[in-house]
């Protein structure tokens, strides 16, 4: 545009052309100074915020719970507790004892040992599998994706027109496995975050949680 002005037939006087050219150069210089100044101001603002720790880390997750995710949670919930481990121990002892003594034991004893052995090694795993499928199919909340926002304010959960805000103080414990991160709000209930659904944000999610949940409440998977 400025080039066309200089070439215009209306500007024939050499002195006027030189004056217009000088004005155009000043305009370019002014624009450069303004843009450069704004850029430096923005950069300085970002650095200042970073130094003050004001920049807010945030992760947005869109999670659709599948039966496999629920099954993994239930297995971790049942077999990592004292009662679950004790049950597996008792069943294992019963099976081992049965294998070495079934020929000399009365039939009734063998039946009892077999039932004890099957209780936690066969029956409960099948029950957990069926329960996970049933929960995902029957609970309305799991029929649609859940949107989670994790930031300094806590965990915001949204689904359609409903939403809830959970403060970090309400988080009782956090447990990480190879497949998921579980954020507990009570001994039996937790937010399930399957890693496969937010692979690029796993580190960010962990950083946010570590910043706001006490270390003694968190159990992270060893690298």
CATH tag, 59-64+141-219: 2.30.29
Supply φ then ψ for residue 145, to 5 degrees.
-60, 150
pLDDT per position as a tens digit, 161-184: 899 999 999 999 999 999 999 999
- Rounded CA-CA distance 144/142 in Å is 6
Of 151, 185, 155, 152, give the one whose Cα is nearest residue 171.
185
pLDDT per position as a tens digit, 33-88: 333 333 333 333 333 334 445 556 899 999 999 999 999 999 999 888 888 899 99
pLDDT per position as a tens digit, 11-32: 445 555 454 455 444 444 334 3
Domain range list for the chain: 2-52, 59-64+141-219, 69-140
Quote the pTM value: 0.69
* Cβ(159)–Cβ(62) below 8 Å: no
* Cβ(94)–Cβ(116) below 8 Å: yes
């Amino acid at each position: 545009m400025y080039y066309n002005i200089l070439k215009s037939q209306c500007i024939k006087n050499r002195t006027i052309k030189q004056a217009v050219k000088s004005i155009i150069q000043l305009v370019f210089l002014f624009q450069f100074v303004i843009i450069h100044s704004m850029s430096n101001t923005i950069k300085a603002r970002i650095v200042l915020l970073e130094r003050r720790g004001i920049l807010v880390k945030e992760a947005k997750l869109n999670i659709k719970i599948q039966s496999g995710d629920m099954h993994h949670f239930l297995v971790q919930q049942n077999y990592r507790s004292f009662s679950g481990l004790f049950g597996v121990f008792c069943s294992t002892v019963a099976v081992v004892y049965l294998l070495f003594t079934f020929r000399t034991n009365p039939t009734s004893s063998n039946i009892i040992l077999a039932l004890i052995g099957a209780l936690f090694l066969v029956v409960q795993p099948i029950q957990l599998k069926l329960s996970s499928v049933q929960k995902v199919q029957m609970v309305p909340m799991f029929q649609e994706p859940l949107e989670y926002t994790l930031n300094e304010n806590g965990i915001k959960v949204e689904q359609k027109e409903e939403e809830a805000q959970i403060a970090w103080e309400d988080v009782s414990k956090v447990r990480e496995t190879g497949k998921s991160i579980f954020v507990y709000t009570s001994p039996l209930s937790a937010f399930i975050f399957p890693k496969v659904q937010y692979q690029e944000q796993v580190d960010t999610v962990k950083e946010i949680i570590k910043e706001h949940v006490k270390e003694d409440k968190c159990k992270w998977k060893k690298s």
